[in-house]
Chain A
Amino acid sequence: GAVVSQHPSWVICKSGTSVKIECRSLDFQATTMFWYRQFPKQSLMLMATSNEGSKATYEQGVEKDKFLINHASLTLSTLTVTSAHPEDSSFYICSATKTGIQETQYFGPGTRLLVL
């Protein structure tokens, strides 16, 4: 199998605080992980590509200082939303590709963030 988990599944926080979301590949090693964001009734938008042991590559328009990504091991990537604001409220989804087989992405269940 290829199972990807995320934690937490949902989080509510106050404006100005930081929130960390974890993405884990449970039964495989993932050299590359991806972070997406999805607003209501819209499609997934890629935010950044995370490679183990190196800096993440951010898509145009995504602030790297606001969305901190760390991919310290082959099974874990984290996304930290710093100084969150209500407009950051969204569904955050990660995906991972198996090391050496970078054809298919496997997605996590998503994390719903609500910033008050």
Chain B
Amino acid sequence: DAKTTQPTSMDCAEGRAANLPCNHSTISGNEYVYWYRQIHSQGPQYIIHGLKNNETNEMASLIITEDRKSSTLILPHATLRDTAVYYCIVRVAWSTLTFGKGTMLLVSP
């Protein structure tokens, strides 16, 4: 699976949009971009995934660049409960997940 690069940490004010970037320049054509998050002392939570089109669900939006070498996870109105480590993972369907270090997002009042 392709390697991803994420900032170590980010800050966001409550109520503002949180934009979390992810670089995956070696992604191959059949690899999906997945986002999970892990709140402290809990199991990871699935957020969203996509192949090449932008995706939106009740939790977040995923914007994938046209060349698919990077993506951005957008939390439109961050709350304190969105404070977590966010993992960007690229993988082919059916393969295992490999977790990197992720981005620690701190949402403050």
Contact = CB atoms under 8 A, between A and B. Distances in A.
A106 interface: yes
Contact of A110 (B32, B42, B99): B42
A46 interface: yes
Contact of A93 (B32, B43, B98, B101): B43
B35 to A, nearest CB: 11
B93 A110 contact: no
Contacts of B30: none
Interface stretch (A62-70, A81-89, A97-105): A97-105
B102 A107 contact: no
A94 B97 CA distance: 12
B100 A43 contact: yes
Given A103-B32, A103-B49, A44 B44 contact: yes
Given A43-B100, A43-B102, A46-B98, A107 B93 contact: no
A104 B44 contact: no
Interface in A1-33: 4, 6
Interface of B: 32, 34, 36, 38, 41-46, 49, 87, 93-94, 96-102
Interface of A: 4, 6, 34, 43-46, 49, 91, 93-95, 102-110, 112
